[in-house]
Amino acid sequence: MVVLVSLSSALRNLSYLPNPTSKLLVSTKICLPDSLQIMNFSPKSEPSSGSSTTFQVPGLNSDEIDQVGEETFRRYSLPNIRRNGVGVAIVWFRNDLRVLDNEALYQAWISSEAVLPVYCIDPRLFGTTHYFKFPKSGALRAEFMIQCLADLKKNLMIWGLNLLIQHGKPEDILPTIAKAFEAHTVFAHKETCSEEVKVEKLVSKALRRVVITQGRSSDQNPDNPRLQLIWGSTMYHIDDLPSNPGSLPDVYTQFRKSVESKCTVRHCFKLPASLGPLPSQSLDDLGGWGCVPSLNQLGLYQEKGDKGLRFVGGENAALSRVHEYFWKKDLLRVYKKTRNGMLGLDYSTKFSPWLTFGNLSPRFIYEEVKRYEKVRQANDSTYWVLFELIWRDYFIFLSIKYGNSIFHLGGPRNVNSKWSQDLILFNSWREGRTGYPLIDANMKELYTTGFMSNRGRQIVCSFLVRDMGIDWRMGAEWFETCLLDYDPCSNYGNWTYGAGVGNDPREDRYFSIPKQAQTYDPDGEYVAYWLPELLALPKEKRNSPGKEYIQQIVPLKFGNTNSRSGSSYPQMRKQKREHKR
């Protein structure tokens, strides 16, 4: 009856089904690409200059990851809860690839007798970016997504369900499935940007055309399935905001103070003992459950990077990273002091890729911070993780307030500036060949791993838009391709902010490279890690190697000295106004 079997045993027996209650599941295999058949977690210690190994995030082995998953799910289980619904409900998984604190999944379960979880591999995700036609999803992010799907399928099976994986547009797939399964509702999480909202509208419209006749009594159920959208991506719920998103303050600090004083964070949704059963209908007409795709099947190829961070996708890895960062390594205690680092696993939480795919709920992080504050200590650092998550909320809500203007050149403030689209300059930035080690190292890290620190992102953004004068959207779209944690709201929100077309009260944010290097990479450890040719240089020369490195492609806007001391630059006046985020 209780379906919560050991994650370790489920992994070991990937081809068997842990839930004996479901007829459909018997003899079904989790169909995984070869690269996922054995997830071999091999944690390594911290990176150091010159080392060329990859470092897995989280740095736990597979048994530890399973154990953390099991313990967390146990803490969040609510075995006595009863469902009271009828018929079949569909869960359309989008950027909410988790079981815990997933309100769409919970609502589907409570309002039905059987739940069918579905994921659509939408070809539009693998098209090109809007203006500059870069790949819309780089191979690293696609690989992370594949891992998320495999992990979700596994967790759903543990809870008595499965994941139907289909290739195609949700507006084509969901109505067909709703019809075949006579579903009364498709539950999904609401998104905010126009591309995603457009798909929601198309799905909703297509569902309205589906007429379900069989087995329904008209007084109990509507004739056609409906799309029920649920809010679930932010820490503060949209319905709890002090005003509707259209009237929210433009400036972050005002937004933060307002939500902190007037709102509370809702509790996470707990889990019943089983989410099953699945609907009794056969999936034969749909070709079975579908496979977790391989990178090849998505038309992508990724050379294996041999250094830097390697994130593991999925909810179990996400929960394990929270456990590792907060409890095992006790790093939450010092987060505020370390968060501006650039090298290694532990200077910051690294939660962002899992937040983007919804493997991790921000409310869960909030509850873990509060638990840590009770059990261990509360200080500036414990608060600061929440402070940063409010930045994330802020950009999500701003995307509602400002709509498509966050993607436009003039940004939300419709600023009219001159920008260049010089491809020689842009490509030198993109490929890490600018002649500035701090820029080049960060861009190589992004390309190799799909990740870059927040400090690095601010520096390379400032360099591209302020020193090179390049159209900020080129930078934003390259980030869209490469980042594992790419999220339209945070990405375009931060880029408009950095380019001076967003809602930053300071319009002249300039990050001086020599000053940044001196403060955040004083011994050149970071640049030498990504640019091993600098290793042989004395530490103080690595960020200002002169002729020992490639020629600088542009001078810096406020002086081009690479002196280690930041105090004598003509740009100091500007630097004092650098916004410390």
Ligand X SMILES: Cc1cc2nc3c(=O)[nH]c(=O)nc-3n(C[C@H](O)[C@H](O)[C@H](O)COP(=O)(O)OP(=O)(O)OC[C@H]3O[C@@H](n4cnc5c(N)ncnc54)[C@H](O)[C@@H]3O)c2cc1C
Residue 407 C-beta: closest distance to ligand X, Å: 13
How many CB atoms are located within 10 Å of the residue 124 CB? 14
Burial grade of 463 (CB within 10 A; 0-12, 13-18, 19 or more):
buried
Nearby residues of 328 by Cβ (< 8 Å), 6 or more positions away: 60
Q: Does 252 bind ligand X (CB under 6 A)?
A: no
Residues 445-504 that bind ligand ATP (CB under 6 A): 488
Structure tokens at 453: 């620190």
461 binds, among ligand X, ligand ATP, none (CB under 5 to 8 A by kind): ligand X
Residue 491 C-beta: closest distance to ligand ATP, Å: 8
Q: Does 260 bind ligand ATP (CB under 6 A)?
A: no
Q: Check if the beta carbon of residue 123 is closer than 8 Å to that of residue 386.
A: no
Q: Which stretch binds ligand ATP (CB under 6 A): 157-165, 188-196, 257-265, 298-306?
A: 188-196
User: Ramachandran region of residue 330, left (φ > 0), alpha (ψ -120 to 50) or beta?
Assistant: left
Q: Check if the beta carbon of residue 460 is closer than 8 Å to that of residue 467.
A: no
Residue 387 C-beta: closest distance to ligand X, Å: 8
Residue 212 C-beta: closest distance to ligand ATP, Å: 32
The DSSP-derived string for 355-417 is: HHTTSS-HHHHHHHHHHHHHHT---HHHHHHHHHHHHHHHHHHHHHHHGGGGGSTTTTTT---
Is 478 annotated in a binding site? The answer is no
Q: Does 382 bind ligand X (CB under 6 A)?
A: no
Alpha-carbon distance of 493 to 496, in angstroms, equals: 5
Which CB atom, from 107 or from 490, has the smaller least distance to ligand X? 490
Beta bridge partners of 442: none
Q: Does 391 bind ligand X (CB under 6 A)?
A: yes
**Given 142, 149, 193, 268, the residue binding ligand ATP (CB under 6 A):** 193
**Given 487, 504, 521, 578, the residue binding ligand X (CB under 6 A):** 487
530 binds, among ligand X, ligand ATP, none (CB under 5 to 8 A by kind): none
Q: Does 463 bind ligand X (CB under 6 A)?
A: no
**Given 164, 355, 443, 531, the residue binding ligand X (CB under 6 A):** 355
**Residues 388-427: x where in contact with ligand ATP by CB under 6 A, - otherwise, as a string:** ----------------x--xx-------------------
Q: Which stretch binds ligand ATP (CB under 6 A): 51-59, 85-93, 194-202, 336-344?
A: 194-202
Question: Rg of the chain over CA atoms, in angstroms?
Answer: 24
Residues 509-568 that bind ligand ATP (CB under 6 A): none
Q: Does 442 bind ligand X (CB under 6 A)?
A: no
Q: How far is CA 202 from the centre of its chain?
A: 25
**Given 83, 124, 130, 179, the residue binding ligand ATP (CB under 6 A):** 130
Burial grade of 284 (CB within 10 A; 0-12, 13-18, 19 or more):
exposed
Structure tokens at 172: 């084509």
Q: Torsion angle of alpha carbons 192, 195, 197, 201, nearest 10°?
A: 180
Is 252 annotated in a binding site? The answer is no
Q: Which residues are annotated as a binding site?
A: 335, 348-352, 388-395, 485-487
Residues of this chain that interact with ligand X (CB under 6 A) are: 339, 348-352, 355-356, 385, 388-389, 391-392, 395, 453-454, 457-458, 461, 479, 483, 485-487, 490-491, 494-495, 498
